[in-house]
Structure 1
Amino acid sequence: MAYDLIKRGIDLTAAVMILLLGWWVFILIWLLIRRESPGPGIFAQRRIGQHGRVFICYKFRTMRVGTPEQGTHLMTASAVTRMGRWLRRTKCDELPQVWNILRNEISLVGPRPCLPVQTELIAAREARGVLSIKPGITGLAQINGIDMRDPDVLAEWDARYLETRSLLVDLKILMATVLGGGQGDRLRA
């Protein structure tokens, strides 16, 4: 219980600091996305959260408008905009998720939220108890190069996080992410 309260406090503090110090970055990125390609600058997508509840996840748009809703590992590189490649590489596409943190839908660290259509992954996570915790912007699987390509392997890594999670583990995952660990879901060749 203490872990959850402290973690929530850290999440809220980080989200507020990002908004206060980086509001101008949000505007700049939004303008650059809108300048490069038609469509919204912020992308809203249904994701699976804690206890299997669906929530709307916000990200800066990295894909062309009209790209089918499916796992990134099923997309080709041609679906990603030029600005989107930079956003994904620097992980800046995740910045709007501070809104999800403020709404208590996700945490800084936890299993990455999946799409409702990724039923194999949802079932694998449910079988391992992973859906009992809040998803995160980054996680143990991501810093170890595990993406959503193999649902069972990802669910195993998520379960490993569930068993070992602590403030120290979360800090190590955050530091590894900031230092470039994990590149998210790899696009299909």
Structure 2
Amino acid sequence: MKRFVDVTGSIILLVLLAPAIVVTALLVAIDIGRPVLFWQQRPGLGGRAFRVYKFRTMRPAFDTDGRALPDNERASRLGSFLRRCRLDELPQLFNILVGEMSFIGPRPLLPVDQPMGASGRLLVRPGLTGWAQVKGGRTLSPADKVALDVWYVRNASLAVDAEIVWRTILMVLGGDREDPNAVRQAWADIAQRAPAARVDSIVTADRNDVQAAAAPVDCRTSLAS
């Protein structure tokens, strides 16, 4: 049923949003440059790697003389707007259509950010939006996001998915708002289901090792690569 909704919904949205996708691509080409898309390799369902596509939101990391540019010179108003409104994620409708992603599920992480002890989040297709995104999103620590993702995998239902859809709309319109109660519930669920030693390892890996292991990743890999 969920796959049917994903296929049908992605086709409908690709048709309805085609003008917006084309206009966004043109604006990116003019303001930031070509190619207009970039991709990153990320683990998906069952840990299988796939390419996540996004509109570019940053200018090249080096100028024509080969000088490395600081982020403030690479940033653009268009890119900031696309990220704030999540419009840079529109190309992922194609990922949903071909079955690599779902509308709802844990966001796909870079391999370096995939924490040990939380492989349960790979038991479902990664999503365009998810429980962690609507319960704090970018305001959350990587550890709390993982805990919320694991909670979703264990408690997914039609009602939860409906809440995620509704809260995603509110998030796009009003920005990220952290829900401390949801975070506490997620960690409590982990503690209740796992032996004490296992919980300690999860907490340690998530709260310390994950953040320490996260290294800067070159996000400029493009379709031309």
Asked whether the two chains share a fold, i.e. TM above 0.5, the reply is yes
Larger radius of gyration: 2
Aligned length in residues: 168
Residue in 2 that maps onto 1:131 = 122
TM-superposition CA deviations, 1:57-78 (whole Å, max 9, x none): 11111122239xxxxxxx9666
The normalised TM-score by structure 2 is 0.68
Say whether the 8 Å CA contact 1:107–1:136 is kept in structure 2.
yes
The answer on 1:42 being equivalent to 2:33 is: no
RMSD across aligned positions (CA): 2.3
Distance change in 2, residues 1:124/1:150 (3 Å):
farther
Correspondence 1:62-101 to 2 at 5 A: 62-66=57-61, 79-101=74-96
Question: Gaps (5+ residues) in structure 2?
Answer: 63-69, 178-225
- The SS at the match of 1:180 is helix
Taking every aligned residue pair, what percent have the same amino acid on both sides? 39
2:115 counterpart of 1:122: yes
The reply to whether residue 167 of structure 1 matches residue 149 of structure 2 is no
Q: Which residue of 1 aligns with 2:9?
A: 14
Distance 1:146 1:32, change over 3 A: closer
Question: Relative to 1, partners in 2 of residues 1:48 and 1:77: Cα closer, same or farther, differing over 3 Å?
Answer: farther
TM-fit CA distance, 1:151: 3.4
> Structure 1: 5+ residue runs without aligned partners?
1-5, 68-74, 185-189
Determine the C-alpha separation between the residues in 2 that align with 1:58 and 1:47: 10
Change in Cα spacing, 1:116 to 1:77, as seen in structure 2 (3 Å) is farther
The two structures have a TM-score, normalised by structure 1, of: 0.80
**CA–CA distance in structure 1, aligned partners of residues 115 and 98 of structure 2:** 22
1:32 maps to 27
